[in-house]
Amino acid sequence: MNLDALKATAMTMVGDGKGILAADESTPTIGKRFETINTESTEESRRRYREMFFTSEGANNYIGGVILFDETLRQSTSDGMPFPKFLDDLGIVPGIKVDTGAKPLAGHNGETVTEGLDGLRDRLAEYYSLGARFAKWRAVINIDDVLPSDFCIKANAHALARYSALCQEQNIVPIVEPEVLMDGGHSIERCEEVTNKVLKTVFKELQEHAVNLEGIVLKPNMIISGAKANNRANSNTVAEATIRCLKENVPESVPGIAFLSGGQSSEEATEHLDLMNKMGDIPWELSFSYGRALQASPLNIWSGSEDNFSAGQQAFLKRAKLNSLAHAGEYQKEMED
């Protein structure tokens, strides 16, 4: 393990006001997205859609890393440049989603565990040879008045730690993503209670697996009310609760925290990130690793038409810039207009 290289990669991903574009939707997931814009999901339409983001001029001012799907890692720009090399030449770190999805956790109704550890060492070696320098593994934690069980938290934390150790062995930075879902009607207090427990367990497992925290990026949920909650907490409360939870559970040796958007609107996710960074006294880079919150507007504008390609790029650049400003605590709501 080359710790200096891992630390440098992590800082390229989330330092200097930059964040991560999550463009790693599986083929079924991107198929559902394309259905909303009446566009057929083919290998070429998926390639062209991702190319819209990667070739947006100036994206490297705001984006430090891109999470790719296996198919995309092996694809190229229209003029034949492999996507990983194209991104690397811009100073954007190419990454790869390596888990194979959340599957039902046997014996625990309503809970899941993420799979994909079998053969992962060999897959990581291949991904490194193809240009990937970081990876992503998402653990999914369902939440209600009873869930999650302690066993579900432990099982997912253990898998995250095993994955992380294998990544670092191959000089790949692991993104550690334990996502407490915002589905459902739970309160912000319940979200904080569960996320505290999840993060404590994850960092205990990382320590036991000898994962070097200076060479990871944490990708957590924000502390937020469930989407169906009757009285959802306001933005300032979300920011304060999230920082409180992170300071309680995340060691200062972690270089960066890149939030997932988790079903928030594009504007919500940007505002929450900004409010946290405006609070100051934060020991980590506090950044973003958004999928839908960066892609929703460009997807709708593009709608599968070449005529809208550059307009889609402009919409992406706007969202990327606003999130970069939020990373610096310099976003204002008026900038949306």
DSSP assignments along 72-102, one per residue: HHT-B-TTS-BHHHHHHHTTPEEEEE----E
Q: Which of 25, 51, 111, 177 is catalytic?
A: 177
Amino acid at 151: F
Phi then psi dihedrals of residue 291, to 5 deg: -105, -85
* Catalytic residue check, 228: no
* Catalytic residue check, 154: no
CA distance 99 to 137: 5
Cα angle 82-165-173, degrees, rounded to a multiple of 5: 35
CA distances from 30 to 24, 25, 41, 299 (A): 9, 6, 7, 11
Q: Which of 136, 205, 219, 271 is catalytic?
A: 219
CA distance 275 to 63: 20
CA distance 334 to 337: 6
CA distance 81 to 75: 8
Catalytic residue list: 177, 219
